[in-house]
């Protein structure tokens, strides 16, 4: 029976995993390779790894780390962070990643999406849209790990990404990030209705009920960070993932 993909998002800062709140206030979580091994055992659908400092530091996510992840991971995974051209994307895919996640370069040089898509297929290109709602209820997107605002609505950005060859949109709410109080459903609805490619919703999930709400509002896949690394009201660090039979029952 059909159910949406459920995807843990793992943030890299240096050689370690961290979790953020509203793209700030990062907390150390643990070792990325150990986390991959645990998600192997838990049979996660996919993984997304994002280096949150790469674009700001003018470098890419570590090739060596991506290769280590590729050697360990039983599931498909995507990587993002400072990927700026076809050469960078090729290095990550050759290291084992199935997909590359593009954020800053999507705004600075959109044609790169087309280059990568034509070379590896659009299924290998995920455009990451980080969005935030202002006091007037209007959404704008941000690049460079949420530091630079762009005067572009996420609906328009998503459609542009699709037109240039992206195979998926990774849609993240900055305001909801790490809060575990639910996704920005209006944002998901607006963006999902503007494109014909899958939308991966991220930012705010604290339980499966939140995920089901996002699914009902148009998301094709459901991503989360805190939900898969924290446990209990005190947020003890514990890598976790729902059982397949639980997911099938919940979404059908």
> What is residue 114's predicted lDDT score, i.e. its pLDDT?
98
Q: Out of 88, 130, 177, 184, which one is annotated catalytic?
A: 130
Exposed, middle or buried by CB within 10 Å (0-12, 13-18, 19+), for 153?
A: middle
Q: Tokens 């509002």 map to which residue?
A: 217
**Measured at the alpha carbon of residue 19, what is the angle toward residues 18 and 20, in degrees to the nearest 5?**
125
> What is residue 231's predicted lDDT score, i.e. its pLDDT?
87
**Sites in the chain below the pLDDT cut of 70:** 1
Measured distance CA(248)–CA(44) in Å, rounded:
13
Instruction: Print burial letters for 165-185: b (CB count within 10 Å at least 16), e (below 16).
Output: bbbbbbbbbbebbbebebbbb
Domain count, the chain: 1
The tokens for 90 are 């090729």
Quick check: 30 and 16 in contact, CB under 8 A? Answer: yes
> What is residue 233's predicted lDDT score, i.e. its pLDDT?
81
122 DSSP assignment: G
Q: 136: domain range?
A: 5-251
Question: What 3-state class would DSSP assign to 242?
Answer: coil
Answer yes or no: pTM beyond 0.75.
Answer: yes
Q: What is the CATH number of the domain that holds 15?
A: 3.20.20.70
> What is residue 1's predicted lDDT score, i.e. its pLDDT?
56
Quick check: 84 and 54 in contact, CB under 8 A? Answer: no
Active site annotation includes 130: yes
């Amino acid at each position: 029976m059909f159910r949406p993909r459920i995807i843990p998002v793992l943030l890299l800062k240096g050689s370690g995993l961290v979790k953020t709140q509203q793209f700030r206030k990062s907390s150390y979580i643990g070792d990325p390779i150990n986390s991959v091994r645990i998600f192997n055992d838990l049979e996660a659908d996919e993984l997304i790894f994002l280096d949150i400092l790469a674009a700001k530091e003018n470098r890419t996510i570590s090739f060596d780390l991506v290769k280590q992840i590729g050697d360990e991971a039983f599931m498909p995974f995507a990587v993002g962070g400072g990927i700026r051209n076809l050469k960078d994307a090729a290095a990550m895919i050759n290291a084992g990643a199935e997909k590359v996640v593009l954020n800053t370069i999507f705004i600075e040089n959109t044609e790169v999406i087309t280059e990568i898509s034509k070379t590896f297929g659009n299924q290998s290109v995920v455009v990451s849209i980080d969005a935030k709602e202002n006091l007037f209820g209007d959404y704008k997107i941000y690049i460079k790990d949420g530091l630079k605002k762009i005067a572009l609505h996420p609906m328009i950005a998503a459609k542009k990404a699709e037109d240039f060859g992206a195979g998926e949109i990774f849609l993240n709410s900055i305001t909801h990030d790490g809060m575990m109080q639910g996704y920005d459903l209006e944002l998901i609805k607006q963006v999902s209705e503007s494109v014909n490619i899958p939308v991966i919703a991220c930012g705010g999930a604290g339980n499966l009920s939140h995920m089901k709400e996002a699914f009902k509002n148009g998301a094709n896949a459901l991503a989360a960070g805190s939900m898969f690394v924290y446990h209990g009201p005190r947020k003890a660090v514990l890598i976790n993932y729902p059982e397949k039979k639980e997911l099938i029952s919940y979404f059908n």
